Structure 1
Amino acid sequence: MDKEDEIIKKAIVRNERLKLKQFLAEEDELAEPKKPWWPYAIAAAMLCVAAFSFWMLNETETQPDLYAAYYQKYPNVVSPLTRSAAEVSEKEKLYQDYEKGDYALAISGLELLKSDTAFLPCPKFDGVGRI
């Protein structure tokens, strides 16, 4: 009896597999063919290129304009201006010239005072003045 049961089980499994194969084959025939994805990828790439080139070509502000619009001079933290200063030293005069915006005079004063070992000029002021 055991051999007959095994043979029957195998026959049923084989029959079920055949039915499943036929069902899947029919589904594959009825299934909608897949659309290719590459035309959409090409269209998306072309759209990105067009948007980027439009953005780059229609840029209204140039770098010098942006620099001029957002430039802020470095604040005078070494020797700020005071109203009550009766006597002004050369060092304070130098920083006052920088703060007033007379950068050429401030740079020339820095050049003269660089030889003085007691005065260590802030190189940041020299660099910002030259900009």
Structure 2
Amino acid sequence: MDDLASIRQVADHFELPVSTLHYWERRGLITPRRRSGRRHYTADQIYRIALIQLWRTTGRMTLDEITEILAERTDTPDWRDTVTARIAAIESQITQLTTARGYLRDLLTCPHDAAPEHCEGFRARITLPAAEHR
């Protein structure tokens, strides 16, 4: 049983508060082993913790999404559907961020004394509504 890592070791390794590991346990995401009443983690559980942390930080997944993916019940949707939806959301965010970066770069090319809404590069990206003819 020496291959078990204590909760403190795992928390320190992943730079997580111990309370986060307790919460993930209450949510059913991880299942530590108990030794003398203290939580310890197997290598498989540590990989699971790494995966959850990765999904939370870089995949920007909610705990509900992670729970759905990691559920071991047969009545949950295919976890690939959740991953596919997350990929689509990330791709949409990438598009939005790329557009925002373009606008901001255009603003940086403006003369320092010009108001941002008067910048030619910015104005070139904007479509104005058609004027009403009376």
> TM-score with structure 1 length normalisation?
0.27
Structure having the larger proportion of residues in helix: 1
- Kindly indicate which of the two structures has a greater share of residues assigned to strand: 2
Larger radius of gyration: 1
> What TM-score do you get using the length of structure 2 for normalisation?
0.26
